[in-house]
Amino acid sequence: PQVVERCVAAAGYSVGEFAALVFAGALGFAEALYAVKVRAEAMQKASEAVPSGMLSVVGRREANYKFACLEARKHCESLGIENPVCTVSNYLFPDSRVIAGHLQALEFLQENARKYYFKRTKMLPVSGAFHTRLMEPAVEPLAEVLKSIDIQKPLFCVYSNVDGKKYMHSKHIQKLLVKQVVSPVLWEQTMHSVYERKQGTEFPYTYEVGPGNQLGAILKQCNLKAWKQYKHVDALEDEEAAET
């Protein structure tokens, strides 16, 4: 209980941003759940319209992701694809990105990985190019739902995926949650914002709540000192322990 009372900041990765806002008192749980449902259904529908996906990339220091994406788009144009999409959709940690867009672009990047100094590439098990303009059809349905929801100013700082900065007020939350659907997740930048402090200042305790510890692994790559104060809390395990 005292950890919750002393909480000074929260952030959520992609759809996890809704959970962070519920935790901070900005959104009601039931309303947020409904918004997430509408968001998921609209994004799935957008995914079905274009064969697209997401490619996890670990690059060398020489890797130029923008140039690689530009050449992948040119490749798609040579195949007759109009206005192809291939862009960084998730900034994870130094030298690690997720690139999303048309499947043909992602296949091109995999085939030419060595040329672009990509050490490792892996297609993610998702149905579409999330956090790119291919998700534009999902914007309006989510915007309409959020207009009908009572959004409060968070009780403590919540950081946005869109710009890595703190949410300022309820209208700001409404605007950026919609923008997040078609904008890259700036998680690496968010980690720098959250843990920025004067030299010699202690880092706060960090808790990752939910299944898996992927965000902890990313934090370790972004800020080793902050990671040393990190703990993982699996909500399902806690529920099972309470039942027994």
Spell out the domains of the chain, with CATH numbers in brackets. 2-45+136-243 (3.40.366.10), 49-133 (3.30.70.250)
Query: Taking each helix axis from N to C terminus, what angle separates 29-49 and 16-23, rounded to the nearest 10 degrees?
Result: 170
**Which listed residue (14, 127, 170, 193) is catalytic?**
14
Q: Does 131 qualify as catalytic in the annotation?
A: yes
CA 30 → CA 13, 15, 36, 109, 143, distances in Å? 20, 15, 10, 41, 17
Q: Which of 52, 75, 89, 131 is catalytic?
A: 131
Closest CA to 195 of 170, 228, 231, 172: 228
What pTM was estimated for this model as a whole? 0.92
Digitized pLDDT (tens) for each residue of the chain, 244 residues in all: 788 889 999 999 999 999 999 999 999 999 999 999 999 999 999 999 999 999 999 999 999 999 999 999 999 999 999 999 999 999 999 999 999 999 999 999 999 999 999 999 999 999 999 999 999 999 999 999 999 999 999 999 999 999 999 999 999 999 999 999 999 999 999 999 999 988 888 899 999 998 889 999 999 999 999 999 999 998 775 555 555 5
Q: Are 55 and 124 in contact (CB under 8 A)?
A: yes
> What number of other Cβ atoms are within 10 A of residue 47's Cβ?
20
Give the Cα separation of 214 and 226 in Å (integer): 15
232 catalytic, yes or no?
no
